[in-house]
Amino acid sequence: MTDHLFERAAIIGPGLIGSSLSRALRKAGVVKSLVAYDKNPATSARAKEIGVVDEAATDFAGAVSKADLIVIAAPVGAIGEIASAVNDHAQSGALIIDVGSVKGAVAEAAAQLREDISFVPCHPVAGTEQSGPDAGFAELFDDRWCIITPLDRPDEAYKTAINKAKTLWERIGAHVEFMDPAHHDLALAVTSHLPHLIAFTLVGAADDVESVAQAEVVKYSAGGFRDFTRIAASDPIMWRDVFLKNREAVLEVLGRFSEELAVMQRAIRWGDGEALEKAFTRGRSLRRAIVDAGQETAEPNFGRDKDGQ
């Protein structure tokens, strides 16, 4: 395909999401060439070795200054610092996007940048519990949503940049939705951050029940526990940063969850079957809505697919 949107993309942090995006951008012909930079040079070297990018840069300025697309794919806690370094080295007219799971903090950092470059904050709502360049794959964003939280900048150049970012995600199979950063952070606290917190906590709690041996937890994990361990296997650094940067929204949602949990506790204590049944019926209908929206398949998965996912 010849209709490249960009000549040269710099991928900062070619881990799971960065390397998936590199693969997808290349496959869809969105960029002509790709360079990776990572704070750990072995990671960018690995990305080049497995053919995810054309070049591995050891020098940040060198990677960024010749790129017309800069993708910040590092953990959310590092995005502010990287954005400020991008500000020092990016060429005029460059489009900068990130893929961070929290948007309020990113929007604040993006608003500090020069006006001749455009930072359009993005969050592809797609991922796995794996990390690193080897874990990525080009199809990760197929039929998934990417939320864009644009800055409030009235200039034409920024509007063009937003459209370019939208086209980029659509060319690799994603659907795009625009949102205010605060709303994004609250919505994702419900759909992603709280579930991860619960999974991390549940797995920790199971470890603490001394009368149940770890061997039993492993042996009988298909009773529900196993599905939580997949989420709890997610990258600790990435998730540390999500909770540090989305503190208020997570605390708000956690408060509501704690109240619901207390209601369940009471229903169990008092043998209130009707209340339990009502709550569980709500769970089933939400699951059905997710399947109907094409965000999951209805097939039961007993952990027996070939890759064990």
Residues making contact with ligand NAP (CB under 6 A): 12-13, 15-18, 38-40, 43, 73-76, 78, 82, 99-101, 124, 127, 131-132, 235, 238, 242
Quick one: 146 or 151, whose CB is closer to ligand NAP?
146
Which phi and psi angles does 55 have, rounded to 5°? Answer: -140, 145
Q: How far is the CB of 183 from ligand NAP (least distance, A)?
A: 17
Quick one: 40 or 191, whose CB is closer to ligand NAP?
40
Q: How far is the CB of 209 from ligand NAP (least distance, A)?
A: 29
Q: How far is the CB of 186 from ligand NAP (least distance, A)?
A: 16
Q: How far is the CB of 106 from ligand NAP (least distance, A)?
A: 9
Question: How would you classify residue 123: left for phi > 0, otherwise alpha for psi between -120 and 50, otherwise beta?
Answer: beta
Which phi and psi angles does 258 have, rounded to 5°? Answer: -60, -40
Task: Give me the amino acid identity at 85.
Answer: A
Q: How far is the CB of 41 from ligand NAP (least distance, A)?
A: 9
Closest CA to 178 of 203, 202, 148: 148
Give the C-alpha distances (Å, rounded to integers) separating 307 from 17, 23, 227, 303, 304: 20, 20, 15, 9, 8
Closest CA to 5 of 63, 66, 54, 69: 69
Quick one: 16 or 250, whose CB is closer to ligand NAP?
16
Quick one: 39 or 287, whose CB is closer to ligand NAP?
39
Quick one: 18 or 173, whose CB is closer to ligand NAP?
18
Q: How far is the CB of 285 from ligand NAP (least distance, A)?
A: 26
Quick one: 135 or 276, whose CB is closer to ligand NAP?
135
Q: How far is the CB of 140 from ligand NAP (least distance, A)?
A: 9
Annotate 92-132 with three-state secondary structure: CCCEEEECCCCCHHHHHHHCCCCCCCEEECEEECCCCCCCC
Q: How far is the CB of 165 from ligand NAP (least distance, A)?
A: 15
What is the token pair recorded at 175?
């659907």
**What helix, strand, coil percent values describe the chain, rounded to 5?**
55, 15, 35
Closest CA to 196 of 258, 254, 248: 254
Question: How would you classify residue 153: left for phi > 0, otherwise alpha for psi between -120 and 50, otherwise beta?
Answer: beta
Quick one: 17 or 24, whose CB is closer to ligand NAP?
17
Quick one: 24 or 238, whose CB is closer to ligand NAP?
238
Q: Cα(305)–Cα(229) distance, rounded to whole angstroms?
A: 17
